[in-house]
A and B are shown apart, each in its own frame.
Chain A
Amino acid sequence: MSEQTPPAGTASAETERVLELDHVTLRFGGLTALDDVSFDIRRGEILGLIGPNGAGKTTCFNVMTGVYRPTSGEVKFLGESLLRKKRFQITKLGIARTFQNIRLFKSMTALENVQVGADAHHTTGVLSALFRLPKHRREEAEGNERAMELLGFMGLRDKADELAANLSYGDQRRLEIARAMATDPKLLCLDEPAAGFNPAEKAKLMELIRRVRDEGYTVLLIEHDMRLVMGVTDRIVVLEFGKKIAEGAPAEIRDNPAVIAAYLGVDEEDAS
């Protein structure tokens, strides 16, 4: 899949919808954080979610992952409503996320961080652990192997035994992605994974995200840097003041007057 032309999936209307947001509105008292937002994410694509600061991008993530319940509207994942699901159940169903401000388990090692993610599908309890039952041993070996594999994929294999708190900033960001991927998600939501990176690092990360997609993951990406979003995403949804103002292929978004007015014209956005 080349980065500039929309992939085949976008053209075909039959592409499976992984996640659907249907007229989602979220109000905090008098503040409308999300106003009638609808879009969907299709299997195998990288969808960019962009918008100026405070546009509701992270709020959108929080609605999808069960942190907030929408005031009205519906969120469906693979056809199943998420509104009554608990946060950990949503993760088990297959949505994983990273955080805008890194939230690793700091006094655990890199390996353990990823193992916690892999444990999402494990069921070992006190008795299995206490008597080292086959279930414990099987799950432990499997989780360990998966975690090491993901650390290798992220280039962190030699840092497996380092405390998360001691990793460099960039490594922490990558560890968060590895941890999220360990939950074996069908949809991976990355909240500004390149925040605080210099352009070269950003480019490398985008390359990594493309590789993640090629591994078969569907990716939802929040990113400030327009150039990068244009380069890596298959489709883009633009939010402003909680409203969706545009949706389409990167080329369309670039030429969309509403987007240019709302977003591209603002210089300070490039400073992120």
Chain B
Amino acid sequence: MSDEIPPVEINADRLTPVGGGRPSAPVSLRSRLRSMRDKMGRLPKPVKIILMVFAALLAYALPIINPPILSTPDTDFGGVLFIVSVYVLVALGLNIVVGYAGLLDLGYVGFYAVGAYVVAVLTSQHASWPWLATIPIAVMVTMVTGVILGAPTLRVRGDYLAIVTLGFGEIIRLTAVNSDWLGAAAGVPKVGKPPSIELFTVPHLNWDSGVPLIDLHRETTALKFGVIDIVPYYWLVLTVVIIVLFGDMLIKDSRVGRAWEATREDEDAAELMGVPTFKFKLLAFAMGAFVGGLAGTMFAGRQGFVSPQSFPLLLSILFLAAVVVGGQGNRWGAVVGAIIVGYLPERFRGFEEWRVLIFGLALMILAIYRPQGILPPRRRAQARRLDQKLDELEGEEVAGV
């Protein structure tokens, strides 16, 4: 039955020679990136694992190596890496909500704030718990917050949901501003830090003379969670990011992940195929809140100080930008997007107020040339490519007639 001719037929085998046989096709960055990804995808599993481990080790070593160009000349590189890693964590959480389940959440900073405030309240404001002990509580409270926000609001869809969540982010911030119990506008000082276990000390590299030299004035003690050296915090968050990435992979590749995607694709059809869509949307909210809250606890632990100013609406937009720029629905896209959004403004801090403009321009260029994100989900990328090939084919037919 497959060789009948229905109105629209996209047959990959038939199309490949046409697209592939074009001699004059310029090798664009896009196609190079694509072929790189295809090659990556075809590598045998052990090689992939080795590459992954290597990449992870490199990520851990980054603040020690302090590579030129990549390093930020105007701010502490370790600090930038910490912020970037927190952004990555947040983007991974938001990707579950926006990318997988397709729920536009404009108030994600609310969960981040709740996580941070729970730590602040329990370690400084109203109790003096150790930082580590507050994490389960903080994560639980954010998940409950997610369910409380989701239960009434997930009945509305699309734009309406975006508006309601936008309100949520602001409500959390304004509650903090107006509540003396939460330190009001001044915030909560002296927030607890992660417990230090001093294991070893490594000096950083210094590239000032062009060759890497060991810089004995600049060293990091693992794992001393102090005030000056931020590198151990970066390592902590990086570890959490890796764990969350694994969890994300396992959940996505299961009934839960399929249910989220089906809901995103066509909510009514999903419901009629036996997916309790409301339950799964709520679950996506809760999981997203979990990760967002976790990021908040990391932020509070490092900052030592939590105030409403730390959670402006702009941050929600920035988080969403990270997910969209990277490619909604692809965890690696979210990672890349968060790195761009977190890193670029810091890298160009030397340009003073111009940096925001440059950042905006970079986002615009991305939006124009890669509207589906830098790394769209593999399967969506496949679909788009086939679409393009079909367009090309049609174009040729028209030209030929």
Contacts and interface: CB of A to CB of B under 8 A. Distances in A.
B273 A117 contact: yes
Interface string B324-363: 0000000000000000000000000000000000000000
A124 B255 contact: yes
Contact of A107 (B7, B10, B257, B261): B261
A162 B386 CA distance: 11
B274 A88 contact: yes
A177 B400 CA distance: 39
Contacts of A121: 274
Given A117-B273, A120-B275, A130-B251, A109 B1 contact: no
Given A88-B276, A107-B379, A166-B12, A130 B271 contact: no
Given A99-B269, A108-B258, A168-B8, A88 B277 contact: yes
Interface residues of A, number: 56
B273 A116 contact: yes
A179 B265 contact: no
Contacts of A167: 10
B383 interface: yes
Interface in B373-401: 377, 379-380, 382-383, 386
B255 A105 contact: no
A117 B274 contact: yes
A126 B251 contact: yes
B261 A126 contact: no
Nearest to A99: B269
Contact of B274 (A91, A128, A155): A91
A130 to B, nearest CB: 5
B274 A92 contact: yes
Interface in A98-157: 99, 103-109, 112, 115-117, 119-122, 124-126, 128-130, 132, 136, 139-140, 143, 155
Contacts of A136: 254-255
Nearest to B254: A129
A108 B256 contact: no
Contacts of B180: none
A87 to B, nearest CB: 5
A251 interface: no
Interface string A162-191: 110111111100100001100100000000
Contacts of B9: 168-169
Contacts of B275: 88, 116, 119-120
B5 to A, nearest CB: 8
Query: Chain B binding site: helix, strand, loop or mixed by DSSP?
Result: helix
B271 A87 contact: yes
B72 to A, nearest CB: 36
A126 to B, nearest CB: 6
Nearest to B290: A126
B269 A103 contact: yes
Contacts of B377: 107
Nearest to A123: B255
A130 B262 contact: no
Nearest to B248: A130
Contacts of B113: none
Contacts of A105: 261-262, 265-266, 269-270
B20 interface: no
Contacts of B251: 126, 129-130
Contacts of A166: 10, 12, 382-383, 386
A53 to B, nearest CB: 20
A40 to B, nearest CB: 22
B11 interface: yes
B259 interface: yes
Contacts of A87: 271-272
A197 B2 CA distance: 13
Interface string B235-258: 000000000000100110111111
B259 A119 contact: yes
B4 interface: yes
B259 A67 contact: no
A196 interface: yes
A148 B259 CA distance: 19
A163 B383 contact: yes
B96 to A, nearest CB: 11
Contacts of B382: 163, 166
A218 interface: no
Contact of A132 (B250, B276, B379): B250
18 contacts: A91-B272, A92-B274, A105-B270, A116-B270, A119-B255, A120-B275, A124-B256, A125-B256, A129-B254, A129-B255, A129-B257, A166-B386, A167-B10, A168-B4, A169-B8, A196-B6, A197-B6, A204-B1
In the A-B complex, the 8 residue pairs with the closest CB atoms? A120-B274, A169-B6, A129-B254, A91-B274, A105-B265, A103-B269, A124-B255, A168-B9
